[in-house]
Amino acid sequence: MIGINGGVTAAKGFKAAGVRCEIKQNGLDLAAIFSTSTCSAAGVFTTNAFKAASVIANIEQLKPGRAQAVIVNSGNANACTGEQGLNDVHSIYDYAGNLLGIPKEHVLNASTGIIGVPLPMDKIKSGVKQAVSLLSESGGESASLAIMTTDTCPKTSAYEFEIGASTVRIGGMCKGSGMICPNMATMLCFITTDANISANLLHKALASGVERSFNSLTVDGDMSTNDSLIALANAQSGCDEIIDNSPEYDIFEQVLSRVCMDLAVACAKDGEGATKYVEVQVINAASYDDAKSAAMTIANSPLVKTAIFGEDPNWGRVLCAAGRSGALVIPEKTSLYFGDVKIVENGEPLNIDADAARKPMLERDLIITVDLGVGDQKATAFTCDFSYEYVKINAEYHT
Amino acid sequence: MIGINGGVTAAKGFKAAGVRCEIKQNGLDLAAIFSTSTCSAAGVFTTNAFKAASVIANIEQLKPGRAQAVIVNSGNANACTGEQGLNDVHSIYDYAGNLLGIPKEHVLNASTGIIGVPLPMDKIKSGVKQAVSLLSESGGESASLAIMTTDTCPKTSAYEFEIGASTVRIGGMCKGSGMICPNMATMLCFITTDANISANLLHKALASGVERSFNSLTVDGDMSTNDSLIALANAQSGCDEIIDNSPEYDIFEQVLSRVCMDLAVACAKDGEGATKYVEVQVINAASYDDAKSAAMTIANSPLVKTAIFGEDPNWGRVLCAAGRSGALVIPEKTSLYFGDVKIVENGEPLNIDADAARKPMLERDLIITVDLGVGDQKATAFTCDFSYEYVKINAEYHT
């Protein structure tokens, strides 16, 4: 596979646009993604009991597994908006379907921003109209800008690869910042491909890709009412249909996972107030679940995250988080590294010189490795440090 | 029951002292608690896989259920110190037992402070010697000062009450600040009583008292390698032995729980960097576990805690945390209050005026109530807000 440009318009037959319709105080705030032919469609959504109206409606809309367009706005999450919120989503399905000349059943919708406030439907409709008129095969970039909230940069990824004699593309865009609800900080991700794949198999590949990427990402442990990952496949590459348990499926899943991973890492690097990007690798665990649980507990620990912000090699906090994670942890078998520097071996500190231990922490990117020494399973969590700026962003934003 | 002074020396026959032996850079740093007769003894300890040496040793020491003295130091946690750490604890048992003229099997030990560094045993021994020579019935106060780390104030509580014709006392002290490991921020709690109660029944009452107090307390969700709660009962009140399933046991458990609750609340109020004390009450849940899980998830949410620091009535963050807690949450049945102000009713925002919603958040103490509307169980979590100061304390402390 090779990396290419274009985000959600990298794949053949996809158009997009990002426009400003004044939902946010400034910047682009509405995006449209459109395929020139109907697509297999699949989605993975927040498990929060409080789901935004668009999430509730999209889950229904996706049951037949077909879609052709997605309308996304930033600045208003359309969450905790009751019946009105659901009605508004259906108005968007209707309105965009009419403008695009496709069935309203083939339109999807996503929102991110403040909650508890009804969508400004006049602005949304003018935005949809404008976006539809501007749809283009080079619109992936403006679309990726229009879904940003507290994000400091747009996030896209795309690859092309071969299936048989055909060149196939998978591209995507997302917004993240805090993995956090509900103000300006939802995770939304949209993936497009010109592969020929059924909706069920696309869902399978998506679920697999999400587990080791977005579900291993944490900025602050919170989960949004709006978190959504939607994938569309329009078959325009001309490749044969990808079937389950085939080498072609394996390749497809691998590339899709890579796109998810790129976008999840980009979210961690752009975590609210982040000054460091951190990968927590837990290796030699008794099970994958143990490895994931230990990695996520360490990645979520405010003590670990503030120590990293302070460039303090406070390994005790890391071991302590592993120890309370519920994973099988035997202190005498546990070793710990900051970068390449081994700090603890089999539960005993190696009394590394403080400057040597601190050296890996001075970099922008830090890898923390915990070797549990009790099995052969591993998992990685993606996160960032916890800075004054995080507190500032989240304390000073007023409802 | 009536509140009295004295902390761990409020009960008859208990002496204590706090001294300085230069483990910390300044302040008292070693405490001794002593009963003039042997006691029933029970403890509740951290479930972290990484347990400090004193925790490992105390669990063994407490198996016969008898003890007469506790030696506690601050400034060094004696955690992740391997064989040496365990040997040091046994030296303390030995040394203090000799000085006090009691079997070494009746001495307990606790530590809090930096980890991975062996105890400075010369200083510890000189401290034990000094403390033993200063033991007094009014020593509860100096002992409560000697166990402090990042705590900004000592924390004690004591009550007296009647059992039959006898006046019985239960007192305690603790240190908290961050409920956090491993630097300077462990939760240690010591309770003394002159009630006549078996070690098994004392353990039962302690476990019950802990569940709705210390186990419902969170400053940052981390759990220390050293967290310990130890109770001693010396029967010197002269009351009849308290037996299980009796009115006397109920009273004893109630007072013990009250002491635990006082100390847990004091810890939340003194959370690292805290500017607000917060009680999260979840009512009308389907089960106690659901209520507790929702309350603790809200209390642990960095987004909720930073919003409280910013005095922002950001109710969406509270509902969102409840929604991901795993508790049975039905949005249409969920209501939310800040103080007495109802903000959300049955899942719909009431569009309260922003100033009215913010008013309860301007106080030093805030009660957040979430009514899940699906049952009759309730639980309360105790916490504090998340400030710049928290990040500062934990980023700038260098190992």
The secondary element (H helix, E strand) that includes residue A50 is: none
Tokens of A225: 């009412």
Q: Determine whether the interchain pair B348/A397 forms a contact, defined as Cβ–Cβ distance below 8 Å.
A: no
- Which of A109, A113, A111 lies closest to A68 in space, CA to CA? A109
Q: How many CB pairs under 8 A join A and B?
A: 195
B151, burial (CB in 10 Å: exposed 0-12, middle 13-18, buried 19+) = buried
| Sign of the CA dihedral running B176, B180, B186, B189 | positive
Helices (H) and strands (E) in chain B, counts: 11, 15
Q: Which of residues 175-204 of A touch B (CB under 8 A)?
A: 178, 180-183
Q: Does B50 touch chain A (CB under 8 A)?
A: yes
CB-nearest to B307 from A221, A306, A395 is A395
Nearest Cβ partner for B222 among A47, A301, A391:
A301
Which of A156, A186, A193, A225 is labelled catalytic?
Answer: A186
Q: What is the ipTM of this complex?
A: 0.79
Cβ pair B302:A182 closer than 8 A: no
Closest partner CB to A347 (pick from B82, B307, B315)? B82
Q: How would you write B325-388 as a 3-class SS string?
A: CCCCCCHHHCEEEECCEEEEECCEECCCCHHHHHHHHHCCEEEEEEECCCCCEEEEEEEECCCH
Q: Mind listing the pLDDT tens digit for each residue in A288-323?
A: 999 999 999 999 888 888 889 989 888 888 998 899
Q: Tens digit of pLDDT for each residue in B109-163?
A: 999 988 788 999 999 999 999 999 999 999 999 999 999 988 889 999 999 999 9
- Read off the pLDDT of each residue in B35-62 and give the average, rounded to a whole number: 95
- Which chain B residue is nearest to residue A349, measuring alpha carbons? B116
Strands B188-193 and A228-233: unpaired
Q: How far apart are CA B207 and CA A216, in angstroms?
A: 35
A48 contacts B316? CB cut-off 8 A: no
> Which residues of chain A make contact with B220, given a CB cutoff of 8 A?
301-303
Q: Do B395 and A344 touch (CB under 8 A)?
A: no
At A214 the pLDDT is 86
Between B3-7, B266-270, B362-366, B389-393, the lowest mean confidence (pLDDT) is in B389-393
Q: Residue A70 has which token pair? A: 């997605």
* A347 near B CB under 8 A: yes
Comparing CB atoms, the residue among A82, A322, A390 nearest residue B347 is A82
- What pLDDT is stored for residue B178 in this prediction? 58
| Kind of pairing between the strands at B335-338 and B365-371 | antiparallel
Q: With an 8 Å Cβ cutoff, is B221 touching chain A?
A: yes
Q: Which residues pair with A108 in a beta bridge?
A: A70
- CB–CB of B116 and A309 under 8 A? no
Among B81, B149, B186, B334, the active-site one is B186
Those of residues 111-130 in A touching chain B at CB distance below 8 A are: 114-116
Please tell me the predicted confidence (pLDDT) of residue B349. Answer: 86
Kindly write down the DSSP assignment for every residue of B144-161, as one continuous string.
Answer: HHHT-SS-SS-EEEEEEE
Worst-scoring range by mean pLDDT, A222-226, B226-230, B333-337?
A222-226
In this prediction, residue B222 has a pLDDT band, given cuts at 50, 70 and 90, of low
Contact A194, A168 (CB under 8 A): yes
Question: Does B186 qualify as catalytic in the annotation?
Answer: yes
CB contact under 8 A, A225 and B323: yes
Looking at the complex, does the CB of residue A306 fall below 8 Å from at least one CB of chain B?
A: yes
Q: What is the dihedral of CA B389, B391, B394, B397, to 10 degrees?
A: -70
Gap between the Cα atoms of A88 and A51, Å rounded: 15
Best probe of the A interface among B215, B290, B306, by most A CBs < 10 A, is: B306
A183 to B220: CB separation less than 8 angstroms, yes or no = no
Cβ separation A220–B300 shorter than 8 A: no
pLDDT at A219: 67
Asked if A342 and A350 touch (Cβ cutoff 8 Å), the reply is yes
Task: Test B323 with A396 for CB contact under 8 angstroms.
Answer: no
More confident residue, B397 or B358: B358
pLDDT band at B182 (very low <50, low <70, confident <90, very high): very low
A399 vs B178: CB contact, 8 Å cut-off?
Answer: no
Nearest CA in chain B to A85: B348
Tell which of A303, A329, A389 to mutate to test the B interface (max B CBs under 10 Å): A303
Residue B307 contacts A where some CB pair is shorter than 8 Å: yes
A356 touches chain B (CB under 8 A): no
Residues of chain A with C-beta less than 8 angstroms from the C-beta of B80: 316, 319, 331, 344, 347-349
pLDDT in tens, B145-160: 999 988 889 999 999 9
Across the interface, of A313, A344, A388, the residue whose CB is closest to B391 is: A388
Low-confidence ranges of chain A (pLDDT < 70): 177-186, 219-223, 394-399
CA distance A138 to B59: 67
Range in A203-212, A380-389, B363-372, B376-385 the model is least confident about = A380-389
Nearest chain B residue to A46 by CA distance is B324
- CA-to-CA distance for A151 and A145, rounded, in angstroms? 9
- What residues of chain B, 245 to 274, have a C-beta less than 8 Å from chain A? none
Is B50's CB within 8 Å of A225's CB? Answer: no
Q: Residue B140, SS3? A: helix
Residues of chain B in contact with residue A301, where contact means CB-CB under 8 angstroms, are 220-222
**Contact (Cβ atoms closer than 8 angstroms) between residue B145 and residue B21:** no
Interchain contact, A323 vs B48, CB within 8 Å? yes
Average pLDDT over residues B50-77: 96
Peptide linkage before A103 cis (omega within 30 of 0): no
Q: How confident is the model over B191-210, as a mean pLDDT?
A: 96
Helix, strand, coil shares, percent, chain B, to 5: 35, 30, 35
Q: A310 to chain B, minimum CA–CA distance in Å?
A: 4
- A279, A363, B65, B234, B252 from B14: Cα distances, Å: 51, 54, 18, 8, 18
CA-based max dimension of chain A: 69
Alpha carbons B13 and B31: distance in angstroms, whole number: 17
Min Cα separation B18/chain A (Å): 27
Residue of B nearest to A272 (CA): B303
Res A392: pLDDT: 74
Residue-by-residue DSSP string for A209-264: HHHTTGGGB-SSS---SS-EEEEEE--TT-PPPB-TTSHHHHHHHHHHHHHHHHHH
Helix H or strand E encompassing A186: none
> Distance, in angstroms, between A8 CA and closest chain B CA?
29
- Residue of chain B minimizing CA distance to A185: B303
* Chain B partners within 8 Å of A329 (Cβ): 49-50
Q: Could you please report the per-residue DSSP string of A79-104?
A: -S-HHHHHHHHHHHHHHHHHHHTS-G
Average pLDDT on B51-56 reads: 94
Residue contact A49–B396, C-beta within 8 A: no
Please judge whether B320 and A224 are an interchain contact, meaning their C-beta atoms are less than 8 angstroms apart.
Answer: yes
For residues B179-207, give the mean pLDDT.
Answer: 82
Is the confidence at residue B391, as pLDDT, over 80? no
The C-alpha atoms of residue A124 and residue A73 are separated, in whole angstroms, by 8
- Which residues are bridge partners to B159 per DSSP? B3, B170
Residue of A nearest to B349 (CA): A116
